[in-house]
Structure 1
Amino acid sequence: MNNLISDKDMRVYTIIETLFQAQQPITIASLAEITKSSTRIIKYDLNDSTAILSKVNGKIVSSLDGLTLQLPSNIGLDYFKRRLYDQSVGFDLLELIFFDETLTHKEISEKLFISVSSVKRLITKVRAALILYGIDLRTKPFEIVGDERLIRNFYTMYFQERYNVSEWPFSTAYYEFFDKMIERVMVYYGLTSEQYDTNQFRYQHAVDAIRAIKGYRVEEFFNEGEVTRKRQIKTFFMQWKMWCKNTISLRKILLSFLIRR
């Protein structure tokens, strides 16, 4: 999904990610090599990184050996990853379309605070990015098209990476409902929170529900297990029909016997 993020925002994130994961100080030259940019650009990006880090009481410390990152213990890389999505107009467009496919170019430009011509350029960029996921963006009307499974998987991944566990962007899909579903699934299969990604479950089923409400269906196909199960069900019903037939015949015999008596 990184192809919908600006080069500058991606560089700033890469700088923070590299420093976060480093076991020793990192030089500006090394950061330039990692991001495939110049040391001059890195120096500018470090100013932006410092501004972002200051919002969470973090900072970059410089020494003769290089740069190190200092962060509060409750802040991880996921915070900065979500910020990437928040900064991306392309993801904003995809989210708008997910919830409302009746929007016009003008309405989208007003919601994104960009011009109509910028919306058209953005659409071209988004369509090029979606090719990697096997789906496409149609504009008359606005609609994500392609294999429904791929569309649902794409949006599940997007919502899971953009929002944290305390956020719920689905106003029409009730959080409490999916929470109860999770509880029952975990109890039924004897799972623990370490074994089961409950957050992904919520997003996956919320996306499924909203797409289904909009009328999008997943085409059914049978794998070997499903074929076997279908054959077993068919066999069961054949045996059940035979049992019913034999039962009726038995009843007729008994009835004729009683009548003769």
Structure 2
Amino acid sequence: MKNILSKSQFRQLQVIELLYSNQATSIIKLSKKINTSEKTLRQDIQELNILLAPSRIDISSISGLSLQLDTKMSIESIYSLFLFKSTEFLIIEHVFFHNYQSLDSLAEELFISTSTLRRMIATINQNLETINCQIDSQVLDLVGNENQICNFMIHYFEEKYRNSSAIFPKIQLKTLNKIFLTVFNSLEVTPNYPDLEKLRLWSMVILTRIKTGHRFTFTKEQHDRLPKEVLNNSLLKQLFRATFSIQLTPDVFFQVFYFFFNNKYCQTLEQLDDLAKKDRSIAELIESLYQFLESISNKLEIELENKDELVLDLYNMDALYYGNSYILYNRYQAYIESITHDYSNFYHFIKKEVNQNPFIKKKKWSQDAINNFFYMLITHWPGLAHGIEKSIPVFSGALFFDTDTEHVKMLQDRLSYFFQDRLKFTILESLTLSELKKSATQYDMLLTNLFDIELKKTRVVVLPLALQTSDLKKIDEVYLDLLQESDTF
């Protein structure tokens, strides 16, 4: 949804993303990369430094541009700042929360002209069409696929505010907490902060939609699954009505917990087994997930102790997937990119396994859904990450410099620290270049400060006396090439 941003904000976000991923670069290179003038780029940097403070973009005549993040900020908090700054996203938020009588009243609230508001809504709607919803400029409401609207707003609030108490009244959140804990106790489930926070956000988004007359429909079977402990609790019902000015009827309770009362979500393995007996397609998916996990476990020789629980988690991930899980910052994609830096072959191995499993492949998951699947697989399978690390080969690096032996030893220690468990470095004691070339062939790479050394199979990396970050990156790139060629998985 980055295209909802204004052109200038979209360009400024590009600047942040490029500097965050590429460390330092020059004004000239960056302006060419984002297709803008150096003058405009300098103006963008000035505006960004105001937005990012106390973080900033430094400009140096030696190292060029670099993003300096304050210790209390992360890349995720920067994306949050862009959502706070964006008038376009603020329009969506205002329409979601408030009942405006006219475009003029909304424009006045936002301190923009009505004609500007019309243009912005048109741009917003072009992007929202991809998730089958839009802003109706006549009634000033979000209309369309209710699942997609709620999913969008949930992830918008999550990404912008990070905390439900920053958006919604604390007294309402406390009431929801009492209901959630009652439900958790009845199900004998131990609550945790991430799950409770998601429930708070989801429920408040849906309650807001209920107040504006939007509803989900539910079946008698879903109605029968509603927890009687809550519906028959007169004190909770009175508290709910006093807090939200809405009666806690079975219909309202279903709306609030809609994402968990769809026909496919299962709280327990027993529920999953019962559902599989009634629905052949679900039974096939479960069988495919077991085959998928067993195939990985056997091929990588990694034990899987919580197979049933992992199948339930992966199944529910699919059942509860209503659309993209991000607005601007795709954190699961970022997580995968960080993981695949060292384990790129493993990621491709998993994708291959998915494609070889006909039923999972038939699901035709989006890239975002695949990212969610991969994230859950690697975080919910105890020992998988460690097992992968054990499967990654350690490559050998030879060191040969025409400086003194103490410098080379210091270099060995420093490189061993940076590339521990990935590269093992050995100092060569060759006395001639001929001996060096012969000895170096036994290693995957040769690190040296000598020029014009050609070796057929061993990679040669020429380094200066004083290593810079760019030199470590150069070694890392060779390592990744070796890993790619190794066909580990």
TM-score (norm: length of structure 2): 0.41
Change (3 A) 1:172 1:133: farther
Asked if 2 retains the 8 angstrom alpha-carbon contact of 1:26 and 1:68, the reply is: yes
Asked if 1 retains the 8 angstrom alpha-carbon contact of 2:100 and 2:106, the reply is: no
The one of 84, 88, 100 equivalent to 1:86 is 84
Partner of 2:25: 26
Q: What pairs with 1:119-130 in structure 2 (closer than 5 Å)?
A: 119-130=117-128
Partner of 1:7: 7
Asked if 2 retains the 8 angstrom alpha-carbon contact of 1:56 and 1:72, the reply is: yes
Tell me how far apart the structure 2 counterparts of residues 58 and 176 of structure 1 sit (CA, whole Å).
38
Asked if 1 retains the 8 angstrom alpha-carbon contact of 2:134 and 2:142, the reply is: yes
Asked if 2 retains the 8 angstrom alpha-carbon contact of 1:109 and 1:119, the reply is: yes
The one of 59, 72, 75 equivalent to 1:74 is 72
Unaligned runs of 5+ in 1: 233-261
| 1:56-105 residue CA offsets vs partner (Å, 9 max, x unmatched) | 25441424232222222111122321221222222222112111234312
Tell me how far apart the structure 1 counterparts of residues 67 and 128 of structure 2 sit (CA, whole Å).
34
Asked if 2 retains the 8 angstrom alpha-carbon contact of 1:168 and 1:175, the reply is: no
Asked if 1 retains the 8 angstrom alpha-carbon contact of 2:51 and 2:81, the reply is: no
Partner of 1:203: 201
Tell me how far apart the structure 1 counterparts of residues 164 and 214 of structure 2 sit (CA, whole Å).
28
Asked if 2 retains the 8 angstrom alpha-carbon contact of 1:135 and 1:150, the reply is: yes
| SS of residue in 2 equivalent to 1:68 | strand
Report deviation, 1:148.
1.0
| SS of residue in 2 equivalent to 1:137 | strand
Tell me how far apart the structure 2 counterparts of residues 13 and 61 of structure 1 sit (CA, whole Å).
17
Partner of 1:176: 174
Asked if 2 retains the 8 angstrom alpha-carbon contact of 1:61 and 1:67, the reply is: yes
Identity of aligned residues (%): 24
Asked if 2 retains the 8 angstrom alpha-carbon contact of 1:97 and 1:103, the reply is: no
Tell me how far apart the structure 2 counterparts of residues 145 and 49 of structure 1 sit (CA, whole Å).
34
| 1:209-254 residue CA offsets vs partner (Å, 9 max, x unmatched) | 111233211133745979966x99xxxxxxxxxxxxxxxxxxxxxx
| SS of residue in 2 equivalent to 1:153 | helix
| SS of residue in 2 equivalent to 1:107 | helix
Tell me how far apart the structure 2 counterparts of residues 131 and 10 of structure 1 sit (CA, whole Å).
19
| 1:7-61 residue CA offsets vs partner (Å, 9 max, x unmatched) | 2112222222332333x422223323442333343222222223333x3254414
Tell me how far apart the structure 1 counterparts of residues 33 and 179 of structure 2 sit (CA, whole Å).
44
Tell me how far apart the structure 2 counterparts of residues 179 and 17 of structure 1 sit (CA, whole Å).
37
| SS of residue in 1 equivalent to 2:166 | coil
The aligned amino acid for 1:105 is L
The one of 129, 136, 139 equivalent to 2:137 is 139
Report deviation, 1:5.
0.9
| 1:180-201 residue CA offsets vs partner (Å, 9 max, x unmatched) | 45656777434655xx454333
Asked if 2 retains the 8 angstrom alpha-carbon contact of 1:14 and 1:35, the reply is: yes
The aligned amino acid for 2:54 is V
Tell me how far apart the structure 1 counterparts of residues 83 and 265 of structure 2 sit (CA, whole Å).
39
Tell me how far apart the structure 2 counterparts of residues 78 and 21 of structure 1 sit (CA, whole Å).
13
> Is 1:43 paired with 2:19?
no
Asked if 1 retains the 8 angstrom alpha-carbon contact of 2:3 and 2:10, the reply is: no
Change (3 A) 1:21 1:215: same
Unaligned runs of 5+ in 2: 219-261, 279-489
Partner of 1:64: 62
Root-mean-square deviation over aligned CA pairs: 3.2
Asked if 1 retains the 8 angstrom alpha-carbon contact of 2:48 and 2:56, the reply is: no
Report deviation, 1:202.
2.0
The aligned amino acid for 2:89 is F
Change (3 A) 1:184 1:214: same
| SS of residue in 1 equivalent to 2:135 | strand
Number of equivalenced pairs: 227
Q: What pairs with 1:106-125 in structure 2 (closer than 5 Å)?
A: 106-125=104-123
| SS of residue in 2 equivalent to 1:25 | coil
TM-score (norm: length of structure 1): 0.73
Change (3 A) 1:61 1:123: closer
Tell me how far apart the structure 1 counterparts of residues 70 and 147 of structure 2 sit (CA, whole Å).
39
Asked if 1 retains the 8 angstrom alpha-carbon contact of 2:176 and 2:200, the reply is: yes
Change (3 A) 1:123 1:183: same
| 1:118-152 residue CA offsets vs partner (Å, 9 max, x unmatched) | 22222222221211221022123222111111111
| 1:147-172 residue CA offsets vs partner (Å, 9 max, x unmatched) | 11111111111111221327522349
Asked if 2 retains the 8 angstrom alpha-carbon contact of 1:160 and 1:199, the reply is: no
Tell me how far apart the structure 1 counterparts of residues 197 and 151 of structure 2 sit (CA, whole Å).
14
Change (3 A) 1:85 1:57: closer
| SS of residue in 2 equivalent to 1:141 | coil
Asked if 2 retains the 8 angstrom alpha-carbon contact of 1:152 and 1:208, the reply is: yes
